[in-house]
Structure 1
Amino acid sequence: MLKKLVIAVVLMGLIAAGGLGWSYQQVKASLQQPVSNETAVFITVNPGTSFRGLLNQLAEKQIVPASKWTRWIYRLEPELTHIKTGTYQIPNTGTLRDVLGLIASGKEHQFAITLVEGDRFVDWLTQLSAAPEIIHQTEGMTEAEIAEAIGAELTKLEGYLLPETYHYTAGTTDLELLKRAYRQMVSLLDSAWDGRDQAIPLKNPYEALIMASIIEKETAVDNERTVVSSVFMNRLNKGMRLQTDPTVIYGMGDKYDGNIRKRDLRTPTPYNTYTIFGLPPTPIAMPSKASVLAAVKPENSGYYYFVADGKGGHKFSKTLSEHNRAVRAYLRTLKKK
């Protein structure tokens, strides 16, 4: 009788061990399930989400099929169940183990937005309003209120934000991005002003920022920026009006329809450098780093004029007669096109 009892106990132990071994293999196999999403998808893990809740999300989004074995992963590999809140991009390759490893790592997806040089502040606000996963706090705020919110002692932010590609995680606010852009421009401008050519006819960093914005709007050719800067410096030194079309356009505001007419050049606005001497009162766009540096370190030239050459660049001239010939050449190029 005792012998039969021992045999029964041994058999039950073997069966239990076999069952555990088989269960172990099933849980292990569940971690190797390939993801089933055809394209990369996003998943947001909210605060308070349990591991089982995460598995339900993965099943609902058809990333990994539901399985009764996945709930036991915490027994096999508990480190994969220590999930972090955030928004993650799940690729269309890999396994459940890869997905859980990503979410346990806390490496959220980095979104990117490129705030373009030469654009105006209003353009940036429009771009930010359409950017994914950003919390929009600036809606309904004035420019002065936005400036105060990001720590800028200004009423107008035009020009004071550095164009750059900014990376952010889901839930970042537009004010946070604007604050980063403001701080980076302040840092750049301070450094550039400290290293400026002492001979430039600019009184302070803000005037350098205004000049940089004009340079930005006048040329997108990197090796022309310092030459364009020299033209404006030469004109300022000689007491000539800057006579730059982008300032006219900025001063026209919503009245600008894509064309500048002679009457527009003659119509006074605070920004029309055909009717005012010196610089306009504020920047007219967001200048790039290259334009800021060109504003404080212009090339040493004898140029006072420039006009488009019809090939993407400009023709620079030292005298009005040379400039007029360059204008006629440009007009002939336009007619040919």
Structure 2
Amino acid sequence: MIKFTNLNFKYMNSDKKCLENISLEIKKNECILFTGVSGCGKTSILRLINGLIPNFYFGELTGQVCIDDENITNMDIRDISRKVNSVFQNPKSQFFNAIVEDELVFKPENYNMNPKDIVKNIKDILEKYKLKDFQKRNLFTLSGGEKQRICCLTSETFPTEIIVLDEPSSNLDVDSIEKLREIITKWKKEGKTIIIAEHRLWYLMGLADRVYYMKEGKIERTFSGNEFEDIPYKALKEMGLRSNQNRKLKFYSRIGNITDNKANKYKNNNLIQIDYLKFRVKEKELLDIKNIFLPMNSIIGIVGLNGVGKSTFMNCFCGLEKKSKEVIKVAGIKMDKKQG
């Protein structure tokens, strides 16, 4: 289905090949994982499959990449996109609309699908993934995990046999990664050909049929899915890779539930004091935080799952949310939004 033959590629204005002598074949219905340290060439492999190389990323290309026996250099990007869907690392980089429904209809409308078929298809997809309530939501109010799921859904509004995913889990928490795995599992059961470039490995164990380990633009080693699962952590670490096992950590949410921060340990002029901070969207209360004392000249981490309010808290704290209500004092002096 996809065949690389003696493929070499060097980006424009680069002195070094990012891909060197790549020869491999991906069969229909396979789930393939490309992994390796940053800069090893795995993203460039995906860019060749979805046509971004050579149509948007220019350079010196020799050898062949064929999809269904047709050389990609002879294919228009529009024709490639009828065969290949893409999910990228940063969901926001591939949105063309602000509302979920508008984003889902964007691609099928551009391919002149029957409007009735589009409406039915989107309804079925939202019900399939239990996201019917998201249809009218603003994309930019969604959490990172929710945005990535919508990106995955757009791959089904105009279905293709091949789906490429470029580090799709990089901005997700464990819960969102497990939801991503569920989507990939559904695709595999439906007979899709799935090609993934990833650093994070554990969630793909049991899904990947074959794993290509890349180093400095070359295929260094090839493993079956089972062989890769059996590699011990020490060996993976020596290869510059992360663990292939999920090591879950327990996190306990403390935002909004702190009443004793041992503020008496610090003098008033060394404290940032949040008397209260509230933020609502329509009828939904997103933040309700009271009595937090933050020592100045310190590094403070805000942790929690996707969607719990970390980014919203920071935006409110910095005065970027006009509709938030807060009383914040720095060294005992009350701040307004412009001073945040």
User: How high is the TM-score relative to the length of structure 2?
Assistant: 0.24
Instruction: Kindly indicate which of the two structures has a greater share of residues assigned to helix.
Output: 1
Q: Which has the higher contact order (CA 8 A, sep 6+)?
A: 2
Instruction: Compare CA radii of gyration and give the structure with the larger one.
Output: 1
- TM-score computed with the length of structure 1 as normaliser: 0.24
Give the structure with the higher percent strand: 2
